A and B are shown apart, each in its own frame.
Chain A
Amino acid sequence: MDLTLYVWRQNGPEEKGKLEQYAAKNVSPDSSFLEMLDEVNNDLIENGIDPIEFDNDCREGICGTCGCVVNGIPHGPQEKTTACQLHMRQFSDGDSLTLEPWRAKAFPVVKDLVVDRTALDNIIESGGYTSAYTGEVGEANQTLISKPDSDYAMDAAECIGCGACVAACPNGSAMLFTSAKIAQMAVLPQGEIEAAERVQNMTEAMLNAGFGNCTNHYECEAACPKGVSVKFIAKTNREFVKALAK
């Protein structure tokens, strides 16, 4: 199938960018979205044009490196799918695709579709951990954790840190990302001890990084390739109230 691409090209963080039109010809419906971009890039290179820069690594939907906004939706139209797992059979011959980077103040564009997501790391650094020194711990089965709690923590921990929630949020908020970690830790006995400081520090770090505030649009959940639920945001709100009470 043949497609027309409108791709955001931007040379560096300070440069101005714009959409450029490219043709993607003879695309196999069995190829992935990123493999389609590989082919387009090969054509560009052969024609002496700098290839489109896009972040990607594992290409199996778990590392969270890839992602761009495809026709207005982060990671493209298929539900619960990262850009690398999106396959071209989701599109039809003759389709036009507009590709843009995640857009947020906290995610400056590095080049083309590549953005700098250090801000997400800064949020984790502010408290997304338990303060357990290596070796300084008890036996694993000493503390029982109920299966529902453990499953709840795992549901939250599925987050791959891709930033699609920020890209989708009308407010450019990282609340789903931040909450997923807060909720995971708060429900586990190991993390509960530091829950009060964690919720305050992490939400503060989120704001300081330049992300917006959550106003419950739930676009994050809809865009999340791992289906992380906004119930973790509700949980975070509860944790915040608990922290206030302390």
Chain B
Amino acid sequence: MQMLQSSIGRKLVMALTGLCLVGFVLVHLLGNSSVFIGADGINAYAEHLHALGPVVWIFRIVLLSLFGLHIFFGIQLTLENRAARPIDYNQKKNIRTSFGAETMIYTGLAILAFAVYHLFHFTVHATNPEISVGVLPLDAVGRHDVFTMMVLSFQKFFISAVYVGAMVTLLLHLSHGVQSLFQTLGVLGSKTLPVMEKIARAAAIVIFVGFISIPVSILLGLINL
């Protein structure tokens, strides 16, 4: 309990949940990359996931709790931190911090909003029901045709723009978040910190490029039906 009331305890929760969420994002990216193999790749991947049955649900619940904790403490800490300076400076110059660090709460909330949209889009099929797997015919081997759904979706410029925009916020969020979580976990020293800052930024860029490569490739026609 003391852990969840203390300053460092909650920071550790942010770091640990953040670390898991980064892990999830990486796995998700790897899975999604199967789209480059074509319909066979991604449809098989989706089929495998579904075959896991209840494990998927356990996974979803764990993921949701991680998200929940990360969001709850993120908001709580931000509110506390704002209250710590009730009167703001007329002029304040930040020297060391980054745009990503300063906008964590906004990028975080934006990612939350995107996640909700993303679920409505690809999982619940509420936003574009006309291009959902339920409506589309099964693929040649009788699987849900996730491939076609993705291609049709991202051929719509608006949807691609939303996804790319969301990945920009993720980029910003991770550019600070990744090195920050290692600092919080106490594994950094004065020599390793600058190195980790570079690695973290590079990782954020890799994740960003990885994710946007899908809608961009579809928009450019590199992947098509």
A223 and B95 contact, Cβ closer than 8 Å, known pairs A104-B85, A215-B101:
yes
Give the complex CA separation of A204 and B85 in angstroms: 18
A233 and B94 contact, Cβ closer than 8 Å, known pairs A215-B104, A216-B101:
no
Q: A72 and B7: CB pair below 8 A?
A: no
Give the complex CA separation of A112 and B11 in angstroms: 35
Encode B182-217 as 1/0 by CB contact (under 8 A) with A: 011111111001000000000000000000000000
A200 in contact (CB, < 8 A): yes
Q: B81 and A172: CB pair below 8 A?
A: yes
Min CB–CB distance B192 → chain A (angstroms): 9
Q: A204 and B6: CB pair below 8 A?
A: yes
Encode A188-205 as 1/0 by CB contact (under 8 A) with B: 000000000001100110
A154 in contact (CB, < 8 A): no
Encode A1-44 as 1/0 by CB contact (under 8 A) with B: 00000101000000000010000000000000000000000000
Give the complex CA separation of A173 and B10 in angstroms: 14
Give the complex CA separation of A15 and B188 in angstroms: 44
Q: In this complex, which of A106, A199, A207, A213 has the most chain B Cβ atoms within 10 angstroms of its Cβ?
A: A213
A229 and B190 contact, Cβ closer than 8 Å, known pairs A105-B86, A237-B12:
yes
Q: In residues 68-118 of chain B, which contact A (Cβ within 8 Å)? A: 77, 80-97, 101-102, 104
- Chain A residues at the B interface, C-beta cutoff of 8 Å: 6, 8, 19, 69, 71-73, 98, 100, 103-106, 168, 170-173, 175, 199-200, 203-204, 206-207, 210-219, 221-223, 229-231, 233-238, 240-241, 244
19 additional contacts (CB under 8 A) given A234-B186, A234-B187, A237-B186: A8-B90, A98-B90, A100-B91, A104-B84, A170-B97, A171-B81, A173-B84, A199-B8, A207-B7, A210-B83, A212-B81, A213-B10, A213-B11, A216-B176, A216-B184, A223-B95, A230-B190, A231-B190, A234-B193
